[in-house]
Amino acid sequence: MNRRQFCLGSVVVVAGVSGCATRAVWDDVSNTKYHTYYDQINAFYVNQDQSQFVVLSDRFHYIFNTRSVIPLLKSNLRSRYIVDIQNMRMPEPSAANELPIHGSLFFALPVRKLNPSELSQARALGFEIASPTEKQKAIEVAKLRDIPVDEGSEYLIKTVAISGHRYTPKVGVTYGNSEHFYRQYNVPVVQERTSVNAAKALGATLVTPITLAADGILMLLGLPLLAVFVMSGGVHY
């Protein structure tokens, strides 16, 4: 089985939070408790049929439905993207055997670096002119990752909602150890806790459906996972 690799070059995936260890804080807002933890992300994968997007950390596995993201990853504009993971949130579980998680991916493109054809492609993908706040966010993310910034340019932005579930890795299994990012990222995840039962459910664990084949390839429900790398040089298939 040949393994294809996605290389996200100049595609910057940032959570905007520094620090190394996973940590947690507690807040009480309008009588609703929120448990916020910061998870250190190691790697991204897409399954072979491109229906699911997988985010791996040492502590958890997050599996999202990604069909709306695939056109963006396939576009020849992909090497220009600035991308931010944001609004990661776990609502109160409806059942003890479900740990849903929702969030979004924020994509930005500097208009002055696009020719008319590329601008049309971006519009076709659903990009829109950024508000001043969105433009500033894109600039800040780019600066954080040492990407050249054109502060005088307008920016196009697109936000894609992602939804999925959180799982716990199997003890003693190393998942994608050789394919970690050259730099890890810390993502804040907010858990809603509005009842005792919800608190118990949030403490529950669901064992990951990701398995490790004999040849070292990660598998999800019988399909190989394809690595998404963050490095210079563009997204390559």
Cβ pair 163, 64 in contact under 8 A: yes
Is the pLDDT higher at 38 or at 29?
38
Is residue 56 one of the residues assigned to a domain?
no
pLDDT score of 133: 94
Instruction: Tally the domains of the chain.
Output: 1
Identify the domain containing residue 37 by its residue range: 10-41+67-205
Mean pLDDT of the chain: 76
Is residue 220 one of the residues assigned to a domain?
no
Is residue 187 one of the residues assigned to a domain?
yes
Is residue 16 one of the residues assigned to a domain?
yes
Say whether pLDDT at 113 is over 50.
yes
Q: How far apart are CA 209 and CA 228, in angstroms?
A: 19
Bridge-partner residues for 156, per DSSP? 109, 129
Q: What is the pTM assigned to this prediction?
A: 0.73
Question: Mean pLDDT over residues 158-170, rounded?
Answer: 91
Joined tokens for residue 145: 């990752």
Is residue 219 one of the residues assigned to a domain?
no
Say whether pLDDT at 33 is over 70.
yes
Is residue 218 one of the residues assigned to a domain?
no
Q: What is the pLDDT of residues 36-94, one digit of tens each?
A: 888 887 777 888 888 888 888 878 999 998 788 888 877 888 888 888 888 889 887 66
Say whether pLDDT at 9 is over 60.
no
Q: How far apart are CA 120 and CA 98, in angstroms?
A: 41
Cβ-Cβ contacts under 8 Å for 236 (sequence gap 6 or more): 5, 6, 7, 9
In order, the DSSP letters of the chain are -----EEEES-EEE-SB--SS-EEEEEEETTEEEEEEEEEEEEEEEETTS-EEEEEESS-EEEEE-TTTHHHHHSTTGGG-EEEEEEEEEPPPSSTT--EEEEEEEEEEEGGG--HHHHHHHHHTT-EEPPHHHHHHHHHHHHHTT----TTS-EEEEEEEEEEEEEBPPTT---SGGG--SS-EEEEEEEEE-SHHHHHHHT---B-SEEE-TTS-EEETTEEEEEEEEETT----
Question: Mean pLDDT over residues 22-29, rounded?
Answer: 47
Angle at 117 between CA 112 and CA 120, to 5 degrees: 85
Residue 55 dihedral angles phi and psi, to the nearest 5°: -115, 125
Q: How far apart are CA 97 and CA 13, in angstroms?
A: 30
Is residue 125 one of the residues assigned to a domain?
yes
Q: What is the pLDDT of residues 177-234, one digit of tens each?
A: 544 444 556 788 888 765 545 545 545 568 899 988 888 888 898 888 887 754 333 3
pLDDT score of 182: 43
Q: What is the pLDDT of residues 114-146, one digit of tens each?
A: 999 999 999 999 999 999 999 999 998 888 777
pLDDT score of 195: 54
Is residue 15 one of the residues assigned to a domain?
yes
